Amino acid sequence: MEAAEKAMKLDKGAAAIIAEPERILEVHIPVRMDDGSVKVFTGYRAQHSTVLGPAKGGVRYHPSVNLDEVKTLSFWMTCKCAVAGLPYGGGKGGIICDPSKMSKGELERMTRGYIDKIAPCIGEKLDIPAPDMNTNGQVMAWMMDEYSKIKSQYEPGFITGKPLGMGGSEGRTAATGVGIVVAALEAMKVKKVDPKKATIAVQGYGNVGSWTAKVFAQKGCKVVAVSDINGGIYNAKGFDMKKLDAYYNKNKTLKGFPGSKNISNAELLALPVTVLAPCAMELQLVKENADKVRAKMIVEGANGPTTPDADKVFDKKGIFVVPDILANGGGVTVSYFEWVQNLYRFFWDEKRIVERQTEMMQKAFKKVYETSKEYKVSMRVAAYIVALNAMAMPMKMRGIC
């Protein structure tokens, strides 16, 4: 952000406002556990900005959730929505808990309690939650049901990521993976790389990583390496993603897939591939391993997988980096489509959704790439310039700064 501010000479007042979230809510949720005891969980909701529209962002359940994390992620969501050209600001929420140690009933009671506590600050025109780490369509369904009870009316538009049949959208499950591939294909165009000759390594095989790998294969690219929490696998000839996906769904691991070689996560990151797509956790590409990366381009599927020190190394090596706030914007783009469909009670088919998502992401990539050339900065700095410009103009016109 500081690099973008310096390059674009952002108004100091606007910079000071953007540096802090508009609103932070901390709540404490008493939950009756299955053994009869009562446990109090701490939850957060941060609304970074509503300058461009309602706050938008997921809710995560994890033991490491903390206020600083939620604030930072809400800022990222503001930038991601601005880069994608969506009428949203950024929000983020979370509860400090370990969902793996909770029953379905305990999770439901905690989820409903969270919505009860944050209800005054959310809504389809104020703040629209969505799934994030360890939350899914079932959790969103509980949230929608609880909020509808509070409002005494059906409220599907207040939340996205819902199951189909409950206001959910076609194409939502694959949306982030589709968007990553769209960004990668646009990067290949500007770098004059033939997708049919491209090799791909995908770190992470959750929803984002698995769909990224599958969509790359559908586009004719050769996926030569993938990894999950247990490690990675490699095949220079490329994987049949239908067979690999079936194997993973059956065995819950990638290791042992016929015809593959087991590799470590570190080895996957260092493979000489066309595209490295980190789609797992943050802080995977750091100063200590950046010099070992041999990919021609990095397309960030995860939030914050690259540190600033690693970015400097990639810049010196000439590795083209498509930043997270551009590359993984497919999820929030299709969430926007879901919201619009809920508002109008009129739904589109998956073909139309993928076409619109592709058009919007291609437009966003073009704008960021042109900005990088205009200011002679990296794609990451250019993406922040695009985002900050999108916020600064309406702030000035509305008299906020």
CATH number of the domain encompassing residue 104 = 3.40.50.10860
Domain boundary among 109, 134, 158: 158
Active site residue 92: yes
Orientation of helix 104-118 relative to helix 137-151, angle to 10°? 40
* pLDDT of 78 above 90: yes
* pLDDT of 1 above 90: no
On whether both 176 and 245 belong to a single domain, the answer is yes
Residue 397 lies in a domain: yes
pLDDT digits (tens, 9 = 90+) for 292-319: 999 999 999 998 899 999 999 999 999 9
On whether both 250 and 309 belong to a single domain, the answer is yes
- Of the given ranges (172-176, 202-206, 384-388), which has the lowest mean pLDDT? 172-176
Calculate mean pLDDT across residues 367-395: 94
* pLDDT at site 173: 86
- Taking the C-alpha atoms of residue 291 and residue 382, their distance in angstroms, rounded to an integer, is 23
Residue 386 lies in a domain: yes
Residue 28 lies in a domain: yes
Residue 13 lies in a domain: no
User: 6: helix, coil or strand?
Assistant: helix
User: What does the longest C-alpha to C-alpha distance in the chain come to?
Assistant: 63
In order, the DSSP letters of 20-83 are S-SEEEEEEEEEE-TTS-EEEEEEEEEE---SSSSEEEEEEEETT--HHHHHHHHHHHHHHHHH
Q: Which residues contact 60 (CB under 8 A, 6 or more apart)?
A: 92, 93, 94, 95, 132, 133, 134, 135
pLDDT band at residue 172 using 50, 70 and 90 as cut-offs:
confident
Domain boundary among 116, 132, 158: 158
Query: Where is 262: in which H helix or E strand?
Result: strand 261-263
On whether both 148 and 197 belong to a single domain, the answer is no
* pLDDT at site 401: 78
pLDDT band at residue 121 using 50, 70 and 90 as cut-offs:
very high
On whether both 105 and 213 belong to a single domain, the answer is no
Query: Where is 392: in which H helix or E strand?
Result: helix 379-397
To 10 degrees, the CA torsion angle through 364, 49, 338, 65? Answer: 100
* pLDDT of 383 above 90: yes
- Taking the C-alpha atoms of residue 338 and residue 144, their distance in angstroms, rounded to an integer, is 14
Calculate mean pLDDT across residues 16-30: 95
* pLDDT at site 112: 98
Residue 119 lies in a domain: yes
pLDDT digits (tens, 9 = 90+) for 83-102: 999 999 999 999 999 999 99
Calculate mean pLDDT across residues 8-33: 94
Domain containing residue 298: CATH number: 3.40.50.720
On whether both 252 and 320 belong to a single domain, the answer is yes
The token duo for 329 is 């914007």
- Of the given ranges (7-16, 158-167, 287-296), which has the lowest mean pLDDT? 7-16
On whether both 260 and 358 belong to a single domain, the answer is yes
* pLDDT of 323 above 90: yes
* pLDDT of 133 above 90: no
Across all residues in the chain, what is the average pLDDT?
94
Q: What percent of the chain has pLDDT over 90?
A: 90
* pLDDT of 365 above 90: yes
* pLDDT at site 282: 83
pTM comes to 0.91
* pLDDT of 5 above 90: no
* Amino acid symbol at 246: A
* pLDDT at site 400: 86
On whether both 223 and 154 belong to a single domain, the answer is no
* pLDDT at site 176: 93
On whether both 353 and 218 belong to a single domain, the answer is yes
Total tally of structural domains belonging to the chain: 2
Calculate mean pLDDT across residues 112-122: 97
- Taking the C-alpha atoms of residue 86 and residue 78, their distance in angstroms, rounded to an integer, is 10
On whether both 198 and 130 belong to a single domain, the answer is no
* pLDDT at site 45: 98
* pLDDT at site 3: 86
* pLDDT at site 2: 83
CB 281, CB 253: distance < 8 Å: no
On whether both 272 and 150 belong to a single domain, the answer is no
Residue 10 lies in a domain: no
Annotated active-site residue in 56, 80, 92, 367: 92
On whether both 124 and 241 belong to a single domain, the answer is no
Domain that holds residue 112: 20-158
Closest to 203 measured CA to CA, from 290, 278, 305:
278
Calculate mean pLDDT across residues 339-352: 94
* Amino acid symbol at 141: A
pLDDT band at residue 66 using 50, 70 and 90 as cut-offs:
very high
Calculate mean pLDDT across residues 51-65: 96
* pLDDT at site 304: 87
| Chain-centroid distance, C-alpha 47 | 17
Give the C-alpha distances (Å, rounded to integers) separating 284 from 105, 189, 233, 287.
Answer: 35, 26, 18, 10
On whether both 39 and 105 belong to a single domain, the answer is yes
Residue 4 lies in a domain: no
Domain boundary among 138, 158, 178: 158
Residue 280 lies in a domain: yes
pLDDT digits (tens, 9 = 90+) for 235-284: 999 999 999 999 999 999 999 999 999 999 999 999 999 999 999 888 88
